Structure 1
């Protein structure tokens, strides 16, 4: 397998183990059908689907990297750190993720109570119908309930009207620290990657602080080509990767056939000038 920047790698997607709608097995099959040559399942704050994803990928002859996406609090915002190529049986990583998942049910009940104040009742029970893993009930599950119950036309409308800061249904959660997330990943033998940096709306100063602190804790990669970035941001974050000597990653952030902007395998390739994360993780790829 050629490990240069042209590889059709998709190293960011979600299953029913977190907030996706497909099983790990169905995602593996979809990735292969979409022409993906290297795949990773990166469920939010969870590695419980890793063995299933690995087994499914092996059965299909699809090269696989272990993955997760950890929510952290940085500069009063939620930032996501993807971990790739770690030992998915590492107990310290599993324990850390379990701790950061804690409190989601209480948060979800507060979200439902807030929605009830604006006339939307039964949101907690409604959101639970969309949850594959009750430990990971999230805003995405509430968004699906709000759409299917007729309160909004689609998920983007949900997040314009509800569930974001200053809107009904928003309740903050205390996530892991950047230091903890990067440490869990690297001590388990993996590489930490800043997910979809263009999404956070940071000022240049804030973004510089994020990247330098991330590197200081041992982080080594950044997503350049993702389903959340525009074509201009592909160029911006390719430049960022080179400026900070970071490995470049690529992933659709696929959650659902009905909701996701980009399907597995459908992204453009990384720029040839970049050094991809998979080149640095060649010995961690399961074949």
Structure 2
């Protein structure tokens, strides 16, 4: 498989914080010319069987996926797992424990919003949740837009849900070592998602890449919905420097909210090793 393959290996369904079902995502991916797809719901693999079946029905190839939240240098970093065995006990148990922290955090977020006059936010956010174990800031943002507090979800995040704002509650996720171990232990491959999004110094980013590699991480997202064209080049260079394979994924959540539609990114730069070349025996 070449680097120009239309692969989209990062997106979300109603099983986490997306607005489409796995079946709707598969249909959208197929309509947009995606040839290899992965559903990567946050800290959850409950949609994998549906996604794989839907991909088969649409005639597109499939890799299992998830996106695991980890804490590194006091920042939340996302690690995508691809091509793992979804029946592996350790990854299932690890993700279950990680999801457990979201409910407690959500209650605290609602309390913070109530203190500034926004009441009923927890129950309101639940209306937008497909999986109550995965209630997140995105669901609160959709509720605040519905109630007219902000024009769109981006405004909600800026005013209410980022550090120092009334609805922000930090949460300590899994460790980087945990996430990579769960993925590789289930015969999958670990990828750092959208590295350009993190507010790291150059030294912190170097430490992230180095520690990730030491734990067995193999790839980074180079072409992704939240990267600029300049960041495609920057992280292509970083992939070469650290010997990482490169991944490509839109990070699609919703037709109304996402930076990029499924399958609409430019191809990976040709000098890189595409992550799917390392996963050919895991493609369904």
* Fold-level similarity (TM above 0.5): yes
Residue 8 of structure 1 pairs with residue 6 of structure 2? yes
Aligned twin of 1:123: 121
* Counterpart among 33, 40, 43 of residue 41 in structure 2: 43
* Counterpart among 112, 130, 133 of residue 131 in structure 2: 133
State the TM-score, normalizing by the size of structure 1.
Answer: 0.98
Structure 1 CA distance for aligned equivalents of residues 125 and 104 of structure 2: 14
Residue 153 of structure 1 pairs with residue 157 of structure 2? no
Structure 2 CA distance for aligned equivalents of residues 180 and 104 of structure 1: 18
Structure 2 CA distance for aligned equivalents of residues 152 and 266 of structure 1: 29
Structure 2 CA distance for aligned equivalents of residues 135 and 86 of structure 1: 22
Structure 1 CA distance for aligned equivalents of residues 203 and 101 of structure 2: 31
Which range moves more in the overlay, 190-199 or 105-114?
105-114
Unaligned residue ranges in structure 2 (runs of 5+): none
* Counterpart among 127, 149, 168 of residue 166 in structure 2: 168
What whole-Å deviation, never above 9, does each CA across 1:102-156 have from its counterpart, x for those lacking one?
Answer: 1211211110010011111110011000000000000000010111110010111
Structure 2 CA distance for aligned equivalents of residues 103 and 268 of structure 1: 36
> Aligned Cα RMSD in Å?
0.5
Aligned twin of 2:108: 110
Residue 34 of structure 1 pairs with residue 32 of structure 2? yes
- Secondary structure at 1:222's aligned position in 2? strand
Structure 1 CA distance for aligned equivalents of residues 274 and 34 of structure 2: 15
Aligned twin of 1:79: 77
Structure 1 CA distance for aligned equivalents of residues 168 and 227 of structure 2: 24
Structure 2 CA distance for aligned equivalents of residues 48 and 130 of structure 1: 18
- Secondary structure at 2:174's aligned position in 1? coil
Structure 2 CA distance for aligned equivalents of residues 83 and 23 of structure 1: 20
Residue 197 of structure 1 pairs with residue 195 of structure 2? yes
Structure 2 CA distance for aligned equivalents of residues 139 and 31 of structure 1: 26
State the TM-score, normalizing by the size of structure 2.
Answer: 0.99
- Secondary structure at 2:264's aligned position in 1? coil
Residue 227 of structure 1 pairs with residue 191 of structure 2? no
Structure 2 CA distance for aligned equivalents of residues 106 and 199 of structure 1: 26
Following superposition, the deviation at residue 230 of structure 1 comes to 0.4
* Counterpart among 205, 230, 237 of residue 235 in structure 2: 237
* Counterpart among 265, 275, 284 of residue 277 in structure 1: 275
Which range moves more in the overlay, 155-164 or 186-195?
155-164
Following superposition, the deviation at residue 216 of structure 1 comes to 0.4
* Counterpart among 200, 210, 213 of residue 211 in structure 2: 213
Aligned twin of 2:52: 54
- Secondary structure at 1:223's aligned position in 2? strand
Unaligned residue ranges in structure 1 (runs of 5+): none
Alignment length, in residue pairs?
284
Aligned twin of 1:96: 94
| Deviant stretches of 4+, over 2 Å | none
Aligned twin of 2:258: 260
Structure 1 CA distance for aligned equivalents of residues 16 and 54 of structure 2: 18
Which range moves more in the overlay, 11-20 or 95-104?
95-104
Structure 2 CA distance for aligned equivalents of residues 198 and 26 of structure 1: 29
Structure 2 CA distance for aligned equivalents of residues 29 and 273 of structure 1: 31
Aligned twin of 1:21: 19
